[in-house]
Structure formats: C-alpha cells, structure tokens
Amino acid sequence: MTTYHARPQPLAAVNSYKPTEKPLNFKETPAQSIYGSNVFSDTVMKARLPKPVYKALQKTIKKGEKLDPGVADVVASAMKDWAIEKGATHYAHVFYPLTGITAEKHDSFLTPDGAGGAVTEFTGSQLIQGEPDASSFPSGGIRATFEARGYTAWDVTSPAYILENANGTTLVIPTAFVSWTGEALDKKTPVLRSMQVLAKQATRVLKLFGHEDPGYIYATAGPEQEYFLIDRNFLFARPDLTLAGRTLFGAPSPKGQEFEDQYFGVIPERVLATMLEVERELYKLGVPVKTRHNEVAPSQYEIAPIYENANVATDHQQLVMITIKRVAEKYGLAALLHEKPFAGINGSGKHLNWSLGGDKVGNLLEPGDNPHDNAQFLVFTAAVIRAVHKYSGLLRVAIASAGNDHRLGANEAPPAILSIFLGDLLTDLFSQLEKGKLKGSKKKGTLTVGVDTLPPLPKDAGDRNRTSPFAFTGNKFEFRAVSSNQSIAGPLVVLNTIVAESLDYVATELEKATKGDPKKLNDAVQDLLQSIAKEHKAIIFNGNGYSEEWHKEAAKRGLPNYKNTVEALPHLLDKENVELLAKYGVLTERETHSRYEIYTERYCKEVNTESLLALNIAKTFILPAAYRYQGELASTAAAIKAAGVAADVSSLKAMVTLVGELESKIVDLEHAIGHKASGAIIEHAKHFRDSVIPAMLAVRVVADQLEAIIPDDLWPLPTYREMLFIR
C-alpha cells in the first residue's frame, strides 16, 4: 500500500524547528536607537541639505505646495551620499500598480567611467522620474501595449528609505505611476489627488470658523492589520494555500475558536520572535507600529500602528504587509493575509481608522472641551455622516474583492450594508439637532450650538459595536469592512473624496447663509446641522448589524446592500460616482472605467485560479486517497468473506456512495469551468459567481466528508487541526 509522505514532513519539521538566524541583539542595539535609522527623514534632510533646498522641500511636504523641480539635483546627490554610506548600491522607484501589490525596479548607482572603472551617479531627473517597462501592469484599456510607456514620479511627501538585505541595501523612493498621457495607473496618484481636494474643502470650512490660516490639512490613517501565521511547511504541502492563499478544502478542526481562549492570549514563542523582528525592521523604516496581540481565531494575530498622514500611512501599510511575509519566512512561518484562509473560523480584516486634521488645528473629529470646538466638531462629523450616507454604495465598491466576499455579511465581519455606529451620546445629540435646538440632556435650558454650554463630550462617546462597518470611536471613524489583503488606498480615496464633497457642500451653505458675517455663523450652523441630521439619519444604526431585522430595516431605509463583488463593482460606474470622482479631479471618467475593468477582471482571474486548483486537488489528491481507502475496505470485506465470515459492508457502501458523489461533483465543476460566458467582462464574473463558485463548494462538501472518514495515514493534505494548532 502506498502512503503519502508530504504530510508527516511538516510535522517533523515543526518538531525539530530551530531558528536559522542568530537572535536579535536587542540589548546592545535598543529599539529606540534604530527607529527611523533607514529613513531619509526630516532630520537627515535638515542635516544634509542646503537650507533653501530644505525649506523648499518642507513646503511641499508639510504644506502641500508645488515641488520646485530645481531642487532635485541637490536632493538626489544628498540622498545618494546618504544611501551609499548605508551600503546601498542601487536605487529603486517603488510604485503601487492596480494589482494592489508593491512594485519596484532597481537600478545601480554605478556607471562606467570609460577608463575601466565606475563612478556612482544619481541625478535629479533620475530621482524625479523613472520609466519602468510597464506593459505588463493592468491599465484597463488606458494604455495599449503598443504605447506601453508608464512613468514613475517621485512622491516627495512620502520619505525615501533604505531596504536592507543580508547581501546589500537599496535606496527606495516612493513614486506615483502614470501613463504617458498623465493618467493614473496606480493607487497612489488618486490618494494624493484626494488628499489635496480634502485639504482644500476642509480649509474653506475652517476659515468660516475663524481659522485665518489653518495650515495644511490632511487625512490621517491608522490601519490595523490582521493575519495568520502557520508553519511554512504546511504551505508547501497545500497547493491551495500556496497559489490561492486560502484553503479550498478542509474539515473543521475538533477544536476551533469556540473556547475563546485565543483572543489576547499568550503569544506563542516563535510567533513572538517573528513579531519582534517584524517590529524592529519596521522601526528602522520609521513605520510607527505600536500594538500586537492574538486575534480571535487560532493562529491569528494583529499589528497596529500609530496613525499618520494618510498617504504615508498607505505606503507604510504596504511595508507592513511585505515585512510580515518576509520575516515570517525566516522563522519557518508563512504569513497568510487572505481574508478567509480557513472556513468556519474568523477571517481577517483591516480596520481603517480615519480622521482629518492639521498641525495647527489638531484632530478635527476631536470633540474637545469647549462649546465652540463642539460646533466645529459637529459640523465635520455631520459632513462625514452625510458623505457616508450619500455615497455608501461607493464605499462598498472600494472594499469589494473575491476574498472579502467570504467575510462581509458572514456574521464575523460587518455586513455588506454600510451604516454608521455613532454611539448613544452622539446619536442623541444628532436626534436633538434634527428636532431643532440642542438641549443639554441632563442640564437645563435650550442650547445653541457653539454659544451656550453644550456639555463637553466624553472621549469615548459610546460603547463599541463590532458588528458595525463604520463606527465613530471617540475622535476618529473606523472603517471596519476593509479587507486584510487589500491596499488601503482605495477605501481612503473614496473616504477623502466623499468627505471633500460634503465639506464643499457645508462650506457653500454656510458661506451663503453668513454672507461674510461671522455673527450669523451660529444660526447658520444650527440650520445646517438640523437639515443634515434630518436628511441623513437613515445611515445611523447602533444595533446589531448581523441581525435579520437590520437587513429588512436597512432595505426600508433605502440603504444599498450589494451582497458580493459582482453586484458591487458595476456601481462604480453609477453616474453620481463617476461624476463625483471627476468633479473633484480624483479620477477622470476614463480612469474610473479602467478601474472597473481591472477589478472585475481580477475577480474573474482569482475565482478561475481557485476553481482550477480545486479541480486539481480534488482529482489528484482527494479522489486517489478515497480510491485507496475504498480498495482497502473492499479487500478487507473480500478477505473476511473468503474466510467464511459474514462481513459488515456498511462502511464500504458509504464509501462507495461518497466516492461516486465526489466523482460527479468533479464532473460538474469541470463543466462549470469549461463553459465560458460570452459578452462583457461582468457576464464572465457572473458566471464565476453563479456557476463556478457553487460547483467548487459542492466538491468541497463531499471532500470534507471524506476527510472525516479516510484514515489519517492516507489523507494527503495537512488538516485544519494541524495547520492551526501546531506552531
């Protein structure tokens, strides 16, 4: 009898695991001494750049002013010297194509000097612009391959850094990636555009509140990353994990997450070692990671940073994902960032904490202690509420992916319906506003926003509600439906833009009502808040987002419920969304269309890969194991019979039935894969959703039943029990 050997191997490896690297010398080199050491930071710039150049750069970085290209040569030369001192031989423009990954092209500093040697060279134009051969990145029709030019353009506002490798280092320069016609081929360009428009509109509102020069206003982001770590040997023994990042088969482990003994539990030794190194690597890059803990599911963890300027946070978040994966390998682990690596236990999300503010005015979603702050706070909060209500469909589109379909609405993550959790106190305030003037609920008298003694709002203006996709959490909003594997750029772009549109509306209304007379502001604010509270209260929901009643209630309130990616993506092209993005200069109509094409195609490709994998695993791993056991049962029965004893063949019969079912489900899956839809890309996506995914699931149902009865030594795939609990 042949047995399968791939499974015992990981187990042996796990048992005999020893770190390949020497332990970190954390005492000799304390973490604070390495923080930011690989960043071309403000301090480095100040020390190395001539004063006028430094000042010019700061204007762009801190005030969002236009970059003076004249400074590039000087900056490039200083950057090169700094990088070479840090051991760099190459520089790389890093960019973020629409695949959601991080891309980079490396070039050497070395140029032959014509006399048999080489000099190092890095010019201003090399710093400012690069030209990777970009024909293989998706452009959704913006750029045909015959016009494959794509340019990377230096993003001054995101600091350059040194990427270390045991064999050398590279100077990395964050860039935007655009086509030769100037259209955005990446995720960064729209982030920068949306930050700019948000700043402009927020500034208008702040001026009305008497801030003559509020300084540069920017969105802030603090993304909390959830992920799984499992032994790396398991990854290679499972083609589905290797190629799709999630298990397509697997019976539940006898123990799952039901004991609730994982959340915030003691972090396993090897995992903690990994986390410590991840954090040190990120410290060097100036990524302000702060929090680590166990998550709800077995072998699931979380890492969260201190919030920063949203553009920088977006780049840093990409570094967080890359660093977790890279460092995990060193410790014999595999990091799984997929939204749903294992069925039946929690998947992973990425809570995107978002606010806006500036160095002079502070956090604009901070309630503050005095009534005047409160009025301003209420206006900004109302603008967000209005934005999320008006464009909840667009926000839903921004988090749509094949992976997130497994999570949203599955009673472990928020529902696919966008709503806002405000907490009791703020909800009460807004419902008072709706009726007219604010009454200090526990105090006497009628209050006018901003003048009388509006009670100071407590920092924790309400309890937590894990079922809400979008929650006010004290001084920021937390967008919880964002998925673990995605770049935060998309959700950020939508948030920044819809809030900019709302602030535009707010500023316009207040400007109209006050006509330049600050004395009229209070009444104008009062009226505006009342009308927003009235018109947009439907988006506020503090109850249980998982409940059936909410789904009914949400429908009554007219809130969109796009249940899956295929339903969501076409709404990107809804007239109001296309117009919004175009009006504020965030995405042209063509750019929006290209994103629709690319994301729909991506959905198809992902499901297609999964379906081919499922077919392959079912045919070449599971069915053969089932045949072997069936054969074993049959020969045993025959032998018993031959010995003259009546054999109980019920196990054999059950096995034959299951094998027959598996065979027929495999045929169905083959048929679903083979039958191609015709017409527009969305028709293909529908076919994948409606025919291929159900056929895959049907194969899985039988396979998982087989896993429960086939002998352990015949079963070819690492099991949930092993992957989740051997660490």
Q: How far is the CB of 472 from ligand ADP (least distance, A)?
A: 12
Q: How far is the CB of 164 from Mg ion (least distance, A)?
A: 31
Is the distance from CB of 592 to CB of 573 less than 8 angstroms?
Answer: yes
Binding site for ligand ADP (CB under 6 A): 220-222, 224, 304-307, 353-355, 363, 475-476
Helix (H, G, I), strand (E, B) or coil at 77: helix
Q: How far is the CB of 404 from Mg ion (least distance, A)?
A: 17
Residue 120 interface partner, choices ligand ADP, Mg ion, none, CB cut-off 5-8 Å depending on type: none
Residue 294 interface partner, choices Mg ion, ligand ADP, none, CB cut-off 5-8 Å depending on type: none
* Residue closer to ligand ADP (CB basis): 476 or 536: 476
Separation between Cα atoms, residue 352 and residue 495, nearest integer Å: 11
Q: How far is the CB of 366 from ligand ADP (least distance, A)?
A: 8
The Cα diameter of the chain in Å comes to 106
What is the number of other CB atoms lying within 10 angstroms of the CB of residue 676?
A: 8
Q: How far is the CB of 201 from ligand ADP (least distance, A)?
A: 18
Best CA proximity match to 292, nearest among 310, 308, 278: 278
Site string for Mg ion, 407-426 (x = CB under 5 A): --------------------
Would you count residue 143 as binding Mg ion (CB under 5 A)?
Answer: no
Q: How far is the CB of 188 from Mg ion (least distance, A)?
A: 25
* Residue closer to Mg ion (CB basis): 283 or 479: 479
Strand partners, 118: 112
Residue 354 interface partner, choices Mg ion, ligand ADP, none, CB cut-off 5-8 Å depending on type: ligand ADP
Residue type, 87: G
* Residue closer to ligand ADP (CB basis): 263 or 725: 263
* Residue closer to ligand ADP (CB basis): 221 or 507: 221
Q: How far is the CB of 304 from ligand ADP (least distance, A)?
A: 4
Separation between Cα atoms, residue 333 and residue 336, nearest integer Å: 10
Q: How far is the CB of 308 from ligand ADP (least distance, A)?
A: 8
Tell me which residue has its CB nearest to ligand ADP: 222
Helix (H, G, I), strand (E, B) or coil at 424: helix
Separation between Cα atoms, residue 293 and residue 302, nearest integer Å: 5
C-alpha dist (Å) from residue 273 to 22, 292, 324, 344: 11, 12, 12, 28
Residue 280 interface partner, choices ligand ADP, Mg ion, none, CB cut-off 5-8 Å depending on type: none
Binding region for Mg ion (CB under 5 A) out of 346-354, 437-445, 694-702, 710-718: 346-354
* Residue closer to Mg ion (CB basis): 124 or 474: 474
* Residue closer to Mg ion (CB basis): 340 or 351: 351
Separation between Cα atoms, residue 526 and residue 510, nearest integer Å: 10
Q: How many helices (H) and strands (E) does the chain have?
A: 25, 20
Residue 306 interface partner, choices Mg ion, ligand ADP, none, CB cut-off 5-8 Å depending on type: ligand ADP
* Residue closer to ligand ADP (CB basis): 353 or 483: 353
Residue 252 has φ and ψ, to the nearest 5°, of -60, 150
Q: Which residue is associated with the tokens 């502001």?
A: 521
Binding region for Mg ion (CB under 5 A) out of 332-340, 344-352, 443-451, 454-462: 344-352
DSSP-derived secondary structure letter, 39: B
Residue 220 interface partner, choices Mg ion, ligand ADP, none, CB cut-off 5-8 Å depending on type: ligand ADP
Residue type, 396: R
The sign of the dihedral angle between the CA atoms of 282, 287, 291, 296 is: negative
Q: How far is the CB of 635 from ligand ADP (least distance, A)?
A: 59
Q: Which residue is associated with the tokens 């195609």?
A: 601
* Residue closer to Mg ion (CB basis): 351 or 684: 351
Would you count residue 350 as binding Mg ion (CB under 5 A)?
Answer: no
Residue 691 interface partner, choices Mg ion, ligand ADP, none, CB cut-off 5-8 Å depending on type: none
Query: Could you tell me which residues come within 8 angstroms of residue 144 by beta carbon, excluding any fewer than 6 positions away?
Result: none
Q: Hey, what are 474's tokens? A: 């004290």
In angstroms, how far is CA 29 from the centroid of its own chain? 32
Q: How far is the CB of 348 from ligand ADP (least distance, A)?
A: 15
Residues 693-712 that bind Mg ion (CB under 5 A): none
* Residue closer to ligand ADP (CB basis): 317 or 374: 317
Q: How far is the CB of 226 from ligand ADP (least distance, A)?
A: 12
Q: Hey, what are 130's tokens? A: 């690069």
* Residue closer to ligand ADP (CB basis): 466 or 571: 466
Residue 305 interface partner, choices Mg ion, ligand ADP, none, CB cut-off 5-8 Å depending on type: ligand ADP
Would you count residue 351 as binding Mg ion (CB under 5 A)?
Answer: yes
Report the chain's C-alpha Rg in angstroms: 28
* Residue closer to Mg ion (CB basis): 473 or 526: 473
C-alpha dist (Å) from residue 556 to 35, 440, 539, 560: 52, 32, 12, 10
Best CA proximity match to 130, nearest among 75, 165, 164, 172: 172
* CA angle, residues 39, 41, 42, in degrees to nearest 5: 175
Q: Given the rule CB under 5 A, which residues bind Mg ion?
A: 351
